[in-house]
Amino acid sequence: MIDPLPDPLTIALADLPLAEVRYFQSVDSTNTHCLGWAGEDAHDLSLAVADHQSAGRGRADRQWVTNPGAALAFSIILRPAGNETDCLPFFSPLGAVAIRAALDRLYGLQAEIKWPNDILVARRKLAGILVENLWDGGRLQAIIIGIGININPKALPPPASLLFPATCVETEVGQPVDRWQLLAGVLKALLAWRARLGTPGFFEEWSSHLAFRGERVCITDPLKPDLIGRMTGIDPGGDLLIITDDGISHAVTIGDVRLRAV
């Protein structure tokens, strides 16, 4: 059930050119809701925000925990126009670039982007992104960017269940954080960088903040043997570049890939 927007959320989003905002005290998944909404009448820049997700999803259908009052969980619907349809690999980093920019501007946090779509602070995961596309045959109808950001320690699952160490904004800032202010900051940055999607400036912003760049890493993929080598960056298509000890360069495409510093 769609709930009335809390007044602080309405105020925070007042100067953003959003088509419509739907707020849920509890929902299974904002991405799932937006996939259905996009298939109906949702316009570009329609936003779904949830206080609690009962079946939040990350990449590869992993569960994303969203406890009430503890995190930001939202999805935005984009209707691609013009050359945006040629930039599909860049909508996940678009979310990452926007989160990183907002954390820096609002709190001075120096976040890194863990390829392809996680945000790290102090080498701990603070946010994740799930991008899903809605197709009508061969025509792209919509892109849904789902974002989850850990705001306070109650957002963190038990350490034993984590695939990567986690943290939250309040722990890193050392004080309470207005999550609606952060939501507005991320959306403003997303709109600004969307206008530069696919440009050299966008690519530089993404690549210059990559975590583990120049370090030895291990890429694990359930369908392939582990790949260990030095991470050198990303190529123009968004693939991760790894040089193994035999001097061979490998381009790793986006998939169910886990990245670890060695």
How distant, in Å, are the alpha carbons of 70, 167, 187 from that of 157?
11, 10, 26
Q: Is the pLDDT of residue 240 over 60?
A: yes
Q: Is the pLDDT of residue 214 over 70?
A: yes
Count the neighbouring beta carbons within 10 Å of the beta carbon of residue 221: 14
What's the domain range around 146? 7-208
Provide the pLDDT for residue 223. Answer: 78
Rounded Cα distance between 100 and 39, Å, is 30
Angle at 202 between CA 198 and CA 205, to 5 degrees: 155
147 and 224, same domain (yes or no): no
Answer whether residue 145 is part of any domain: yes
238 and 183, same domain (yes or no): no
164 and 221, same domain (yes or no): no
Residue type, 53: Q
133 and 39, same domain (yes or no): yes
Q: Please, which residues bridge with residue 142 across strands?
A: 134
Rounded Cα distance between 24 and 158, Å, is 25
231 and 120, same domain (yes or no): no
| Least confident interval from 8-12, 36-40, 208-212, 256-260 | 256-260
Answer whether residue 89 is part of any domain: yes
What average pLDDT does range 24-34 have in this prediction?
95
What average pLDDT does range 128-144 have in this prediction?
93
- The strand order across the sheet containing 249-252 reads 249-252, 240-244, 224-234, 216-221, 258-261
Residue % of the chain over a pLDDT of 70: 90
| Count: domains in the chain | 2
Answer whether residue 1 is part of any domain: no
Provide the pLDDT for residue 221. Answer: 77
Answer whether residue 23 is part of any domain: yes
| Full-model pTM | 0.92
Count the neighbouring beta carbons within 10 Å of the beta carbon of residue 133: 15
Provide the pLDDT for residue 60. Answer: 47
Residue % of the chain over a pLDDT of 90: 73
69 and 174, same domain (yes or no): yes
64 and 146, same domain (yes or no): yes
What average pLDDT does range 116-124 have in this prediction?
91
62 and 189, same domain (yes or no): yes
HSE of 162, CA atoms in CB hemisphere, 13 A: 12
The pLDDT tens digits for 165-207 are 899 999 999 999 999 999 999 999 999 999 999 899 999 999 9
62 and 95, same domain (yes or no): yes
Rounded Cα distance between 124 and 111, Å, is 10
| Least confident interval from 82-91, 146-155, 184-193 | 82-91
Q: Which of 96, 97, 89, 84 is nearest to 205 (CA)?
A: 97
